[in-house]
Every structure is written in C-alpha cells, then in structure tokens.
Chain A
C-alpha cells in the first residue's frame, strides 16, 4: 500500500497544525513523573527504614515496640492494618506481619505489640534481643482488616483473642482520640488474667466513653478473678447486647478463636457479609487439617529441586516458604497467611498440601502456582520461583 494515504484524508492539515502547536506548547512530563513517584512512595512505600524509639512492657509475655522513621516520615494507614518486618534472625532472612497498635492519628510513630510465641523465631528475637536505638526494616502498611465506611455499620462488635487485640487497640484509640461517631463493643478472650494486654487502658477508656464497652473473658482465671470466664460465646454476646441487627462483626486472634467463634456467630444467624476476620498466619498443626493425606507423616522429609539445580530438604509440616528461607532462597512475602499472593511459586512437579480455603486465583491453580507460605510438601518437588 502507498505510504501515508491519510495525508489525503479530509481534515489532515488541521491535525498537522495541531501537532505542531502541541509540540511547541507541550510541557515536559519528566518532573511531573518524579513528583508522582514521590507521592506514591509517601502513600505506599515499598520499604520503611525504622528505628526503635521505645519499648514498653505490657505483660510478662508482651512488649510494645515503638518505631520512628529514619527519614521522619511514616505513611498514613487505616486502623487495623499491619506492617511486615523484614529481618535476619539466626542467619535466616525472614519476615513477620504485625498489626499496628497505635492509632493512625499518631503520625510520629508506629507501635507494634508483640507477644511471645513458644519456640517462635521472631517473637522471641524481638522481645529478647531488640533494644532502643536498633534499626529495622518493614513493608508499608498493608491489609484489609479495617473499618470501611461504605459497608460497615457504625456499631461494631469486636472479638479479640490474645495478641489479636492489637488492630482493635488502633481502632479504639482513633475513635476516642478523634471523637469519631462510632461505637465499639469489645470482647477480649485470654488464657489467664495475666495475659490480658492493655487491660488498664481499655478499662479506663470504657469508663470515660459511652461508645466503647469492654469485656475481658478469661479461660483459666485465678481464684480471685470476678469477671467473665470461659470463651466468647453467642450467649455472652446476646446477653450483653441484646439486639445484634445493624452491627458489623470484626474478629482477630489465634486460629482457635476462629474455630470457636465463627460457628457461634453463624449460630446467631449473622450473615457472612457482616463478619470481617483478620488473618492468623499459617495453620499450626497442618497435618490435622481436613484433606491432609493419611500416608504423609508430619515429619516426613521431601526434596525440593530448584531451577538452578539446587536440591533442598523439606519437612512436611513446615511451609515451603520456611524451607526456602532456611536455605537462603528469598521469596517476597507480606501476610504469611496465604492471602496476599506475594509468595506465589510455580510447582513444576510433585504435590503440596494447601488448605482449600486459601484464596488462589483460578488460573494460578490451573498453571500450578501455590502460595508458598501456606503450602506444605507432600511429595518430592521441583519448583520455579
């Protein structure tokens, strides 16, 4: 075909003129792009350089670490969101998510509140080896466990267990600090009265503000404890609140809390859309999960072959991601709960066990991708990262 027949089209000359003018008058985009990048960095930084500015003993097993930013800027977040800390412990480069317990209106620092996990790698390190003045690196704020004014009711029923109190602390502090028109009924379950984090602060807030109520519930109380005992049950909620219509439910805590409370809420006839639950990390006793193959023992060892030829040893009960980290293979991670898909890897051959509820994209399933933070080897594997 002849080149440039459009030069003969009606109106061609006008457009040529327009191009001339716009080339003359058009601006340079480069500075605007740099501004835009800086803006995005302020909203969603990839990494934050933090410094421990204070450590607060909350309970015998829990401390709050207060972080300031090394460049004096902390991005905004929604109460309930978490940051992932990236660190090296015992030669292993790894990460852990922690909810921010300070409120969003506190722009000078982020608090995270860490509870000791028996034999836990990072919690023990943070509690025993991190000191004021130490530097740490984290992700920007992440997560979907927050109050969404579009769909959530202004009255929230919050159920927390153990360290699961942290996102609620941020929410409650924001409500009372900023005088938000929201009501929170907090049920907070713990093993013993000694474990209750933020008890004094919560008691005081509940006394001073009509829109916050607080009920600690203790599983194994000491003899002189006079409060509510046992678990957070549907009866307890009904007793205290009566009407549960027009309320949103938020729940955050260890696996056991969900296993107990979700059926309770269902029993109360609460629609799924009214219940928001935070993630709780990888399942602990994966071999007890429905669907775990009987033939595989939790201590079985499988081989994991990488594309570069390396061959690793993996224990069935350990998430693939942990195996990789222990061998210095870094996979990007954020939530470590199967939700964010940052850690997806492709299984070229062999099988892993991944709980059915893990939200994996349909086509990722089709092409063999798994979320390595919640995938457990049950055969010898070959993977592509």
Chain B
C-alpha cells in the first residue's frame, strides 16, 4: 500500500495552494484531481482559435509590488510569482443600461466620487458620506481583524460594530433615494452571489474598498496560468499529482483519518487530508455516515447552497472597439431593482432583465486573443436546482433559448455583437455540477448570507482529526480567499507534523 504524509483531494485554488505549501516544506504529498487538468473553476478551454477564461473576471487582493496585498505576499512566499504576469485593470467597472446610461468607475476614490456626483448631482452629499462610510468601515475592519487588535471595542471601532452585520440594501436605502445609483453601487453583489437585501454590508464595503485599494487584476494566460504555475511549483518541490483520478473515500478510524481510496480503488495510507471537494461532498459522499460527527450534520443542515452561473463564452472576429467595447468589466443593467425579486430571477430557467457582467480581457491584455479578434465572457447568476428539473432531452433547447436571450441583452448594448461571432460556447449550472462536482453546481460554496459568513461558521477545521477543508466551502469565496485558505490549511498540518 502506498503511504503519503498528506493527501490533497481536488486541484482547485484551495487544493493547489495547500499541496504546494506542504510540498515546499518537504512534506510528502499526493494530489488527486478528478479532471485531467488543475484549476477547478480557475481554468480555461480552447475552441477554434480562442482560449476561453472560465471564471476569473477581476483578481482581488494582489496589490502592486510597492504596496502588496495579502495575496501577492502569499504567492511570493510560495515562489510562483516569477512564472506569472499580472495586468492591472484601470477600471473598477462600467455600467451600461439599454436606455443609454453609461458610467465607468475607476480605481481612484476621488475620481469616482466626482464622476458619480456629476451623474447624480441630487445625491451629491450622500455620495461623499457613503464613500466616507466605506472607508471608515474598512479601517475598522483592518484594525480589528487584519492587525488583530488584542483589545477591540465598540469605542475603537464604531463602524465595525454598527454596520458589519446589517444588510447592504438597508444602508443604501438609508443614504440614497435614486434607485439607479443604488444599483450601480451594489453591482458587486454579483461577485458574492447574494442580493443586497441578504448581503452583509461587511462584504459589500470590503469588496469595493479592496478593489479600489489593491486594484483589480487580470492574469496573462488567464486563471489557468496561475493554476499551472502552482502545480508546476508543487511538482518541482517533489509533490506527486494524479489527474483523471478522483478520491472515492476518506477512511476514518477512531475519529482520525486513516487513508484515502482513489477512483482506481488504490488505498493510500495517510494521516492528513486536505479536501478541496465541497464540504457537502466530503461529509456525505467521501466519509461513511457513521463517522460523520453529529455536529457537522447539524451544521450542514442549517446552511444554504450558493448560486451557480449561466455563462456565455464568445469569440469575435474583430477588435473590441469595433463592437463598442471599451472597458474590461461591464455590468449590463436592465433593472435597478435590488430587492429580493432578484432571488426569483435567479431561480428562473430563462433570461430577462437580470444583472450580467461582460468581461473583455483583450482591453487590458492585447495578447489575450489572436490579432484581429477578441472575446467576451458573459455571466449571470442562476441557481442550479431548477436545472435538474429539465428533462435531459430538453436540456439543449433550454440552454440555447437562454443563450439567445442573453445574446439579445448583449446586442442592446453592443449592437454589432452577433454579426461578429466566430465561436460560442455556453456553460450552465449543470456544466458547473459536472466539472466541479459541487452540489447544484454552486460556484460560491455556501451562500454568503450573513449567517453563513466567516463570523459564524467553523471554516477549515473538522472534528475529524487530520481532516482539513480548503476552498470556497471552508470560508469566503473568490480567488483570493480560496487561494489563501489552502495555505492556511497546509500550515495547520505543518504545525501538527512539527515540520520546520
């Protein structure tokens, strides 16, 4: 029987950084991935002369070399930076409505305030106050949590105590009356998966602040470049990776991890496992029910699964300017409704007026697509469960119908888009189910409701000894948090192994 110090299940962001961090310390690691390529969400695929990016729209937390964010520091320590090239995006985002309203928010605070005040003069003061609020909140958050203040208090961090758990819509309503302005300032709910009515202000404020402070980035070669770079580091540090080979079982004995059984029925003896598979998969499929602690089952029962996504990957046979695309990140906004009605739309098997984001990487990175072409990645959020009710033989019809409606929305803003399509591919929640193995194709782990936020949930730890979780199901979602979660899971194991 084979024996490893640790086995990492899944080569998504969290699994990759966990594996690489362990291998770097000389721990003997086996990485198992069901697919033939690393990355999970962080991947790309080719069609014709295009290479389509699957997930990454705006990388957060990187920061500049002079003013590095946490992610840059971690990737640096891991030793993968020399193989990667990052491109700073000059805009936060562009918002376009079919009525012809256009606005581009930049990464500079005062520029944004000026721009918004010009478009919304009747909200002038409120805009100032709102940006102050975001900054004050972020400062409190950083003081208390990032610098780990040993003696935090309401007096020191009034904004944190007052606003962290309140929902974003409430606060936007408190500050503004113009529905369009409120909708514009809250578009990032789409990156977090829950509408402003359910989204803790802690998240909305921090994501906006973070992107302004540390700038959004694009990776040359897309997110696959990052996945490949981390895997490469892992292999050169002596790690063993097996692709097209998933984990079937985590064998537990006396409350401790004993071994992992692969899809090929090889049993691998190990004391430590990092699971990058979803928490649900880990406890309901990989571990036999009699070994799952009651507390875990209770916790899982109380949590909601996040949304999945409907994505269109389009390759155009012209440059972006010819289509009228001038920014990297474009939110197409048909409705300014930020109420719970959004949740109903996310359940529907059609596309009407939902918020969607269209990313065109070629704006920032001229090498992204071949000369004379460009590509767009258009996403809207859709829950996975309703898709399972489509009879399989009608699946393709529903997929094409939704894609057609989505394309009409794109044409409203970029009228020539359809004429220039050379390649098009569509991913549905079922596509995510298939490629990630996550329940209902959830792309953001558990729903980022306040009750499921990092304040309230157990994170990477498991009552089963030797088991750690990494990735979107063990904490916050997105590239930065998941990449970092793998590193911290690995560090816990390194401590227990007593490796220097």
Contacts and interface: CB of A to CB of B under 8 A. Distances in A.
Contacts of A32: 385, 439-440
B154 A39 contact: no
B300 A29 contact: yes
Interface string B41-52: 000111111010
A43 B235 CA distance: 35
Contact of B403 (A150, A273, A359): A150
A57 interface: no
A332 B227 CA distance: 20
A22 B48 CA distance: 47
B67 interface: no
Contact of B439 (A36, A76, A362, A364): A36
Contacts, number: 171
Contacts of B161: 8-10
B46 A272 contact: no
B221 interface: yes
B165 A9 contact: yes
Interface size class of A (residues with CB under 8 A): 35 or more
Given A5-B152, A273-B421, A363-B225, A341 B36 contact: yes
B71 to A, nearest CB: 18
A363 B221 contact: yes
Interface stretch (A11-19, A90-98, A284-292, A309-317): A11-19
B37 A341 contact: yes
Contacts of A75: 392
B165 A12 contact: yes
Interface in A233-281: 271-273
A144 interface: yes
B32 to A, nearest CB: 15
Most buried by A among B47, B232, B396: B396
Interface stretch (B57-65, B203-211, B338-346, B450-458): B450-458
Given A10-B165, A33-B280, A363 B36 contact: no
Given A28-B301, A32-B439, A151-B424, A44 B434 contact: yes
B433 A26 contact: no
Interface stretch (B90-98, B142-150, B484-492): B142-150
Interface string B398-413: 0010011001000000
Contacts of B47: 144, 359
8 contacts: A9-B164, A18-B450, A22-B304, A29-B284, A35-B388, A76-B393, A341-B45, A362-B222
Given A9-B164, A22-B301, A26-B303, 20 more contacts: A1-B144, A1-B152, A2-B150, A2-B151, A6-B165, A8-B154, A10-B161, A19-B451, A27-B301, A29-B280, A33-B285, A36-B439, A36-B440, A76-B392, A76-B396, A150-B421, A151-B421, A359-B49, A361-B46, A362-B220
Listed from nearest, the 9 A-B pairs whose CB atoms lie closest are A23-B302, A359-B46, A363-B225, A273-B422, A26-B301, A11-B165, A363-B221, A22-B302, A6-B455
Interface of A: 1-2, 5-6, 8-12, 15, 18-19, 22-24, 26-30, 32-33, 35-36, 39-40, 42-44, 75-76, 78, 107, 144, 148-151, 271-273, 332, 339, 341-342, 344, 359-364, 366-367, 369, 384
